[in-house]
Amino acid sequence: ETGESLPYASIYVGEGRGTLTNIEGEYRMSVSEQDVLTISYVGYEKRKIKASEVAKVVRLKPFKRQLREVVVKPIDEMDILKQVIKNLKNDFSKHKTDRQAYFLRTLMKNRRDSYLIESLMAWNSAVNLREDETFSGIYGINSEGNASSLDLRLTNIHRMVEIGAHTFKSKYWEAAIKPLNSLQTIKKYYNVESQILVGDEGEMLYRFSFHWNEKHTKTLGNRRYLIGDIYVDAKTLRLLRFDGEVGNAYQTAFLSRQPSTIKFHIGYNYSRDFAAVENIAIQGGNKSLNYRLLLFGIQADSLVQTGGGFVGGNIIDALSNAGYDSELWKKYDLIKRTEEEQRIAFGEKLE
């Protein structure tokens, strides 16, 4: 209702058929006129619209912030966060090997070239992503020179999607300080603010804003830390969404270590009764390289059950070994490309 686009809103038509809006709030989906689209974004009122009645612009109404004066029972932030952390640990313990298929799009740009990578992958999905497997994909290069100026075989950028408010078995993020590591971590490293958000039908969310305690900055060394807003279902005390950024972030590009910005969005799904990663968006960069990653869960049980994808290595070797399966790609509605992404893509694949 503010007029701003909502990137990464979820759009579904029945079980297992869905997509995300891209960074510009746009989407593409193959539906019939009789289908009903469900459009949702944590912290906003969900909308159901018949496909034949979808307008060019669809507006979502944000939840209202509840004033503390009207709260009957004051919330105890630490008690709630303690249970949220416990729920995440239980979900991982019971579902650590449950896998999910995903579509991953990666855009990278340096001063001269642009790179677009699209892949179908599977990961262990409880709480955070782990143990990736690549089944099919493509990559394109839009270069102003005679040759690419970035060796994609030296990048492990797809590991960034292992990010989370609490992570398990992620070498990329294991050393980072994360808001839901433990209560001790929260008390030591963060200043926390909380709000209650209420929907028109009485749905209630807790929003916890985690701010970095600056007194620890000098002792960080190379450790990164995550800050931002965490959304929790007030009834189940389950984590729904985490929007934030990474502090003290550095990235190695062209053999030099440079300060970088990293901002992210993570959405979680409980259709299998545990905190499964549903979608992730990451934007970041430095003076040498800018990038954007967008990941979305897809219904592809046959891939997850049969396995056989390429495991390990960098993303380009994974794609080269997995190959491109045009029939496989036709089965899925992909997230709409932005104009920039479309320019970098090539051939008839994934139009």
Residue ranges making up the domain that contains 19: 10-62
Same structural domain, 300 and 193? yes
Same structural domain, 29 and 109? no
Q: Do the domain assignments include residue 69?
A: no
Q: Do the domain assignments include residue 329?
A: yes
Q: Do the domain assignments include residue 144?
A: yes
Same structural domain, 193 and 146? yes
Same structural domain, 124 and 31? no
Same structural domain, 167 and 115? yes
Q: Do the domain assignments include residue 1?
A: no
Task: Provide CB contacts within 8 A for 118, sequence distance 6+.
Answer: 103, 104, 105, 106, 137, 138, 139, 334, 345, 350
Same structural domain, 279 and 326? yes
Residue with tokens 């906003």: 44
Same structural domain, 193 and 323? yes
Same structural domain, 191 and 330? yes
Token couple for 9: 């809103």
Note the pLDDT of residue 39: 87
Note the pLDDT of residue 138: 82
Q: Do the domain assignments include residue 72?
A: no
Dihedral sign computed on CA atoms, order 164, 311, 125, 302: positive
Note the pLDDT of residue 329: 76
Q: Do the domain assignments include residue 4?
A: no
Which amino acid appears at position 237 of this protein? Answer: L
Note the pLDDT of residue 72: 45
Extract the residue ranges of the chain whose pLDDT is less than 50.
68-72, 346-351
Note the pLDDT of residue 346: 44
Same structural domain, 49 and 190? no
Chain-centre distance for alpha carbon 21: 12
Cα 47 to Cα 54: distance, rounded to the nearest angstrom: 11
Q: Residue 44 carries which DSSP code?
A: B
Same structural domain, 58 and 205? no
Q: Do the domain assignments include residue 224?
A: yes
Note the pLDDT of residue 238: 98
* Torsion angles phi and psi, residue 162, rounded to 5: -80, 5
Cα 302 to Cα 39: distance, rounded to the nearest angstrom: 27
Are the C-beta atoms of residues 190 and 181 closer than 8 Å to each other? no
Report the domain count for the chain. 2
Note the pLDDT of residue 5: 75
Same structural domain, 282 and 257? yes
CB hemisphere CA count around 327 (13 angstroms): 0
Secondary structure E strands in 254-307: 256-259, 261-269, 276-285, 290-298
Same structural domain, 214 and 185? yes
Are the C-beta atoms of residues 310 and 321 closer than 8 Å to each other? yes
| Bridge partner list, 191 | 211
In this structure, how many other beta carbons lie within 10 angstroms of the beta carbon of residue 51? 14
Q: Do the domain assignments include residue 257?
A: yes
* Torsion angles phi and psi, residue 297, rounded to 5: -70, 135
In this structure, how many other beta carbons lie within 10 angstroms of the beta carbon of residue 240? 21
